[in-house]
Amino acid sequence: MKPRLSHYAVREALRQIKDPVTGRNLEDGGFIRQLEIDRASVRVLVTLMGASPAAAEEVENQIRESLEKIEGVEEIRAEVRILPAQTGPELPQAGGPQVGSQAAPAWAGRIEEIRHVIAVASGKGGVGKSTVAANLAIALAGQGRSVGLLDADIYGPSQQMMMGGGQPLADESGKIYPVETDWGVKVISLGHIIEADQPVIWRGPLLMKALEQFFSDVVWGKLDELIVDLPPGTGDVAITLCQNVPMTGAVIVTTPQDVALIDARKGLAMFTKMDVPVLGIIENMSFYECPSCHHVEYIFGRGGGEKSAKELGVPYLGGVPIDPAIVSGGDAGKPIVVEKPDSAAAKAFEELASQIIQQIA
C-alpha cells in the first residue's frame, strides 16, 4: 500500500514559502484560499495582495518545487492569484460568526478573522473533552483547514500538555502569538503562561480576564475553525463565552453510561438558552477492543451517546473507542491522531472532523 500523503508535510512545505510583499509565510499569513489533498494529489490556491505578476509566478514555482519533494505527491495543481492592494484582505465568508453589535470591544478584538468558533463541552468532568478537542483540531488541520485550539479551561488547563509545543510569544504592545504545533494547529492555554507546578490560585475575575485576553490579545490570524476546550459543566466560563463570542456551535462529549444522558441534557439546555446551536453529541470511551483476540467489550454500556442524541433531538456525530494510547499520547504531547494514525480511535476522530465540517457547512 502506498503511504498516505501527509497533510502536515504539505502545510509545512507551504510554510517555507514567503509572500513577496509582507515577508510572511503562506501558511501562517493566511494566504491559502483553498487546499485540497486527495490521495496523491494536492491542489492549492493562493492569493497575494499587491504582488507583481513576476513575483506571483515565482511563488507558484516555489510552491510546486516545495510540494514535489513530499513523499507520495504525484499531482500538483498550484495557482497564485493577485489581488489589487487597495481591495483589502478578503473577509470571512457570510455564515461565519459576525461580531455582534452587543459584543464588548475587548472580546471582539481579534476574532473577525475566525470563520467558525466551535465549543467542546460536557455536562460532567473527565469524559474526554480535552482529548476530543485536541484530536479534532489536528484532524481538521489534516483535512486542510486552518485551525486554532483555545484551552478555555482556565481552572484546570491541559492543552499545554496534550498538544506539547513551546511558549507563546508576546510583543511590547501586548499582543500574544499562539504556540504553533508541528501539526499545523495554533494553540493557547493558560497552562502555557503560568508555571507548570504552580497552583491555579487566581480566582474568578482574574481568570475571566485571562479568558478575555485570549480573544482580545491573541493574534490568531485567519482561521477556518477555532476549537474551544471548555471546563466541565455549565459554569461561568461557558456562559461568559456564549454571551461574548459569536459561536458557530457546540459539540457535547459524553460517555455511554445512562447517567451521562442527564448531564448531556444539562449541557444542551444551557446552549439552547444561549442560542448556540448544538452540532451534535460525541460518545467517548464507547468500547474496548482487545488487541489480541479482537473481542469488543462495551465497558460503560452500549449506545448511550446515540440514545441521548435521539432523545435530545440533536445529531449523533459518532463514537471514539477506549485506547490506552490516548492516555500516553495525551501525557506526552502527542495526540493519538498523530501518534497512531491507523488506530481505530484516530480514525474515529478523522471521521468526527468530517462530520463537523458537514454540520457547519
Ligand X SMILES: Nc1ncnc2c1ncn2[C@@H]1O[C@H](COP(=O)(O)OP(=O)(O)OP(=O)(O)O)[C@@H](O)[C@H]1O
Rank residues 47 and 284 by Cβ distance to ligand X and give the closer one: 284
Cβ neighbors of 330 (< 8 A, separation 6 or more) are 130, 131, 134, 158, 161, 162, 336
In angstroms, what is the minimal distance from the CB of 284 to ligand X? 5
Which among Mg ion, ligand X, none contacts residue 125 (Cβ within 5 to 8 A by kind)?
Answer: ligand X
Member of 47, 62, 122, 234 binding ligand X (CB under 6 A): 122
Member of 139, 228, 279, 322 binding ligand X (CB under 6 A): 322
Member of 44, 285, 312, 314 binding ligand X (CB under 6 A): 285
Q: With CB under 6 A, what is the number of residues at the site for ligand X?
A: 21
d(CA 200, CA 42) in angstroms, rounded, equals 45
d(CA 193, CA 347) in angstroms, rounded, equals 32
Q: By the 8 A CB rule, do 267 and 234 touch? A: yes
Among the listed ranges 20-28, 49-57, 119-127, 135-143, the one in contact with ligand X (CB under 6 A) is 119-127
d(CA 336, CA 351) in angstroms, rounded, equals 14
66 binds ligand X (CB under 6 A): no
Q: What is the DSSP string of 221-244?
A: -SEEEEEEEPPSSS-HHHHHHHHH
3 binds ligand X (CB under 6 A): no
284 binds Mg ion (CB under 5 A): no
d(CA 148, CA 176) in angstroms, rounded, equals 14
Q: By the 8 A CB rule, do 48 and 54 touch? A: no
78 binds ligand X (CB under 6 A): no
Quickly count: other Cβ atoms within 10 Å of residue 89's Cβ: 11
Member of 47, 146, 158, 181 binding ligand X (CB under 6 A): 158
Helix axes 324-331, 129-142, angle to 10 degrees: 80
326 binds ligand X (CB under 6 A): yes
Q: By the 8 A CB rule, do 319 and 284 touch? A: yes
d(CA 178, CA 148) in angstroms, rounded, equals 9
- Cα distances from 327 to residues 125, 161, 189, 227, 323, in angstroms, run 16, 12, 19, 21, 8
156 binds ligand X (CB under 6 A): yes
Among the listed ranges 33-41, 178-186, 202-210, 323-331, the one in contact with ligand X (CB under 6 A) is 323-331
Which among ligand X, Mg ion, none contacts residue 350 (Cβ within 5 to 8 A by kind)?
Answer: none
Rank residues 59 and 133 by Cβ distance to ligand X and give the closer one: 133
Q: By the 8 A CB rule, do 186 and 218 touch? A: no
232 binds ligand X (CB under 6 A): yes
Member of 47, 122, 130, 248 binding Mg ion (CB under 5 A): 130
In angstroms, what is the minimal distance from the CB of 129 to Mg ion? 5
In angstroms, what is the minimal distance from the CB of 91 to ligand X? 33
Rank residues 116 and 129 by Cβ distance to Mg ion and give the closer one: 129
Cell numbers at 256, concatenated: 455511554
Rank residues 232 and 280 by Cβ distance to ligand X and give the closer one: 232
152 binds ligand X (CB under 6 A): no
Member of 131, 189, 244, 248 binding ligand X (CB under 6 A): 131
d(CA 343, CA 301) in angstroms, rounded, equals 22
Residues near Mg ion (CB under 5 A) are 129-130
Residues near ligand X (CB under 6 A) are 122, 125-131, 153, 156, 158, 232, 284-285, 320, 322-323, 326-327, 330, 345
